[in-house]
Structure 1
Amino acid sequence: MRRSFRVLLCLAATAVGLTTLSAPANAAAHNYVALGDSYSSGVGTGGTYSGGGCKRSTNAYPQLWANTHAPASFNFAACSGATTTDVLNSQLGSLTARTTLVTISIGGNDAGFVDVITTCTLGSDSTCVNRVEQGKTFARNTLPARLDNVYSAIRQRSPSARVVVLGYPRFYKVPGSCNVGLSDTKRSAINSGADVLAQVTAQRAAAAGFTFVDIRGAWTGHEICSGDWWLNSLTWPVEESYHPNKNGQARGYLPALNAVTG
């Protein structure tokens, strides 16, 4: 009888242990920090922004993810206009050893995103193509070391965190039939810049052991000049231009993030 009782106790303890080990990961256990630039802060979605010049929106994918997953903590540190230097100097303080999930989009401003769009909007086809090529050269030759510095710093501050790097979409459907003032030559050039930026970012994220989310596939059919735009074209206020709108954040970025976080 005593032996049978001891066996039952052992089996019960084993069952409890197996239940504990096999319990699914709960998003509520996450300590989530959202880093990055305006594509992460939510510029382009309209409405009221918080964070002063950082322009953080309740319609941005980090906030939407936090709303639906209810993490243990959420720190929304992404800031409009941020470069890799800004992340290193102003955003990494949000990370701790207890951080379990980090998302980031960064690199577009380093590569001269605003100047590329301005040049292509105001200049000739050849001027646009040349400016995009300059940006692609920067992305291939200079940006990798900057991304490495950011990714290394994230890992040092949050050694156990899952880090998800989200890329940028292609901007235009080519050929496309809409009145946005840009030729197919310019649209193709801008898209080629987005492709190079995605390739470089994917390589450096992989080298750091991070998860890269290539947003271009999800955006196919939703570019400017498509039937269902997830990006603003030139609009007012101007700073909203060429950024994801509400659908871009909720139907583009959020599902892509959900796909890799469960």
Structure 2
Amino acid sequence: MRSVTVLVTTSLLSLVLATPARAASIDYVALGDSYSSGVGAPGQTGLCLRSDYSYAARWAARNSPATFQFLACSGATTDDVLGSQIPALKSGADLVSITIGGNDAGFAPTVVTCLTASDSACAAKVNQGKAYVANTLPGRLDATYAAIRAKAPGARVVVLSYPLIFDTASVLCEMSVAKRKSINDGARVLDEMIEQRAEAAGFVYSDVRDEFIGHGVCSTAPWLNGLTIVPPQNSYHPNSSGYVNGYLPALSGAA
């Protein structure tokens, strides 16, 4: 019995010691848009609004990789990733994370329409986004993923999803239940396409929607900001809790 205990203890100790050693040898690169740069959290800096409270910076702080390239930028589309982020990506990167596709699909104008117009106008705008996701986004994602693989052929690439933004059970909210359901359904369609194309590229897809269940905008414990006047870009992005309790575990579990 004592020998079994010693074996188990030794094995667990080996795992604990091996994890930091492995991370210390990793070159990690964070690509993507505002959901990767950390918009919505405190301490955003520069034109790309990068924050040390983003999931990428928190993962780097916890794991102390050999190098950390923080290339994610607020407002980025697939064209931006292709044009400015991937050229800067280290060819010897071991781990790459990315969120991309939301801006291509018209996230910001959709939210504005849903805030200011009728339920039907909101649904129509969301449907425009769904059509884009079905017909145009697949090719853009494929090109982006292929370029990442070509630039960093040995990297483990983790593609993270977007959360469903709204809680739909609460009565009081800044948007009607119908609008909240429309936006969430648009996010679902987008995430499903991202999953499909990421897996087709041979990448690891990590879905954050489970982590955010019960923590949408207008819930009792939201992990996303609602409409924010100052600073306005924080609207409908994860707060600190969303990055540390939602996105960070999703990356850590897939990395």
**TM-score past 0.5 threshold:** yes
Please state whether the residue corresponding to 1:33 is helix, strand or coil.
strand
The alpha-carbon deviation at position 174 of structure 1 amounts to 1.2
Give the match's secondary structure for 1:177.
coil
Offset, 1:227? 1.5
C-alpha distance in structure 1 between counterparts of 2:187 and 2:55, whole Å: 20
Report the TM-score, using the length of structure 2 for normalisation. Answer: 0.90
Partner of 1:40: 36
- Whether 1:84 and 2:74 are equivalent positions in the alignment is no
Match of 1:137 in 2: 131
Kindly state the Cα deviation for residue 260 of structure 1 after the two structures are TM-superposed. Answer: 1.4
| CA positional deviation for 1:49 | 2.1
66, 76, 79: which one pairs with 1:72?
A: 66
> Runs ≥4 in structure 1, deviation > 6 angstroms?
none
**Cα separation, 1, equivalents of 2:44 and 2:92:** 28
Q: Counterpart in 1 of 2:5?
A: none
Counterpart of 1:49? 44
Per-residue CA distance 1:144-173 (angstroms, 9 max, x = gap): 000000000000000000000011000111
Superposition deviation, residue 93 in structure 1: 2.2
User: Could you say which residue in structure 1 is the equivalent of 2:103?
Assistant: 109
Deviations 1:100-136 (A, max 9, x none): 0000000000000000000000000000000000101
CA–CA distance in 1 between the matches of 2:104 and 2:28?
A: 25
Asked if structure 2 preserves the Cα contact closer than 8 Å seen for 1:33 and 1:95, the reply is: yes
- Is 2:204 the counterpart of 1:198? no
Q: Does 1:222 align with 2:215?
A: yes
Are residue 240 (structure 1) and residue 234 (structure 2) matched? yes
What CA RMSD, in Å, does the superposition of the two structures yield over aligned residues?
A: 1.3
- Counterparts of 1:178 and 1:248, CA distance in 2: 21
* Residue 211 of structure 1: aligned partner: 204
CA distance in 1, matches of 2:176, 2:188: 19
Supply the distance in 2 between the matched residues of 1:255 and 1:152 (Cα, whole angstroms): 26
Amino acid at match of 2:204: T
How far apart, CA to CA, are the structure 2 residues paired with 1:137 and 1:199?
A: 13
Match of 2:169 in 1: 175
Shift of 1:226: 1.3
Letter in 2 for 1:26: R
CA contact (8 A) 1:33 1:94 kept: no
Q: CA deviation at 1:225?
A: 1.6
Aligned length, in residue pairs: 237
Aligned residue number for residue 7 of structure 1: none
Q: Match for 1:96 among 83, 86, 90?
A: 90
The structure with more radius of gyration = 1
